[in-house]
Amino acid sequence: MTKLFEPFSLRGTTLKNRIMISPMCTYRAGQDGMANDWHFAHYGRMAMGGAGLVMTESISVTPEGRHCLGDIGIWNDAQIAPLKRITDFIRAQDSVPAIQLQHAGRKASSTRPWEGGARALNEEDLRLRGEQGWTTVAPSPLPYTPSAPAPRELTLAEIRQLVDQYAAAAERALRAGFEVIEVHAAHGYLINEFLSPIANHRTDAYGGDLNNRMRFLFEILDRVRSIWPQDKPVLVRVSAVDGMEGGWSLDDTVALAHELKRRGVDAIDCSSGGMGGSAVNARVPRGPGFQVPFAERVRREAEIPTIAVGLILKPAQAAEVVDGGHADVVAIGREALRDPNWPNGARTQLHPEGGYAHWQDPVGWWLDRRAQSLAALD
């Protein structure tokens, strides 16, 4: 049997297989940032589909850190209970609930992608949907596209406050029942903006050389790791490369991974891009598994577990990533949107002799009998 369906442990948390549902924004929360029945059904069906780990979409640590007004938040205690309902259900399906924490930085105050292509909110959005934009913040007052408004540069006091807000969000995530926490440092959002020389032109302790540009992330992680129980894992998602001249490089990512490992991070989730616009705007040539080499190099050179993501489409492809030692876990994103049962279906496809025994009984029982009926027709 492929290692894809073997258990995998990080600290005291064990996944039943090496398949993770990747964080994917859905923009279905209200303006209060509360998770709701839509999210319960969405994440519940992902857990029922057989993934070892189900990670939320990026959840904002401050109201101003929302990419869109539909983002889920975890900036106040009232937001804990609806998230706890979701984690309880995920756990009941023998899956591990994980949360991704984020602040969108200069990419905040945007429309949903289908309402204007993730552009900045404007007067038309206020008229049509009652959605009021706000002033964004960033390491430096540099817009992420020529047509975007310039953000306001964060003060040192505001940076310290943001570190506190990440820590408070981690404490709420623990109360909400999450087993794994991931700090989102990718896709051109705030932490990634500090890391990349494209977006960070500061001349103080948070800008300039590589160590200074990594400082904000390190301060957040030190606080999160001090709050998060020692038997529970902390992950970091990175854009392994900006894919732009003068930007963050894979060499930078390897150097960062060495330091993250030393600071108690348990795995690196390797994505790419997002510095010059949307994360889905290709700055890296795209093809099946196009980001797997990033995960492989980080795993090999930093000697830390990695998660591979990016057009991992077929079960055999996912199995080869794990069996070939390219990464420890594969993250399935839009394929899981298309088919929430992708993990269970992958196991049935790769190991048909097991039939549907690994599916949940109310589903597997019927599918097994259907398979017998279909076989009898041949």
User: Domains along the chain?
Assistant: 3-340 (3.20.20.70)
pLDDT tens digits, 19-66:
999 999 999 999 999 999 999 999 999 999 999 999 999 999 999 999
How many angstroms separate the CA atoms of 175 and 84, rounded? 8
Supply the pLDDT for residue 278: 55
Cα separation of the two ends of the chain: 28
pLDDT tens digits, 246-299:
999 999 999 999 999 999 999 999 999 998 765 555 567 789 999 999 999 999
252, with CB counted inside 10 A (0-12, 13-18, 19+), is: buried
Q: Which two tokens stand for residue 208?
A: 């300039």
Give the closest residue to 284 by CA, choosing from 249, 321, 242: 242
301, with CB counted inside 10 A (0-12, 13-18, 19+), is: middle
Active site residues per annotation: 189
Supply the pLDDT for residue 116: 81
Could you identify the residue written with the tokens 């900036």? 75
Q: Which two tokens stand for residue 220?
A: 């957040």
Supply the pLDDT for residue 146: 87
Q: Mean pLDDT per 10-residue run, the chain (378 residues)?
A: 96 98 96 97 98 98 96 98 98 98 97 88 93 96 92 98 98 98 97 98 98 98 98 98 93 98 98 76 78 98 98 97 98 97 97 92 94 90
Supply the pLDDT for residue 189: 97
Distances (CA, A) of 332 to 149, 159, 291, 343: 33, 33, 13, 9
Strand extents, DSSP E, the chain: 8-10, 13-15, 19-21, 53-60, 96-102, 137-138, 152-153, 180-185, 234-239, 267-271, 306-309, 329-332
CA quadruple 121, 127, 132, 135: dihedral sign: positive
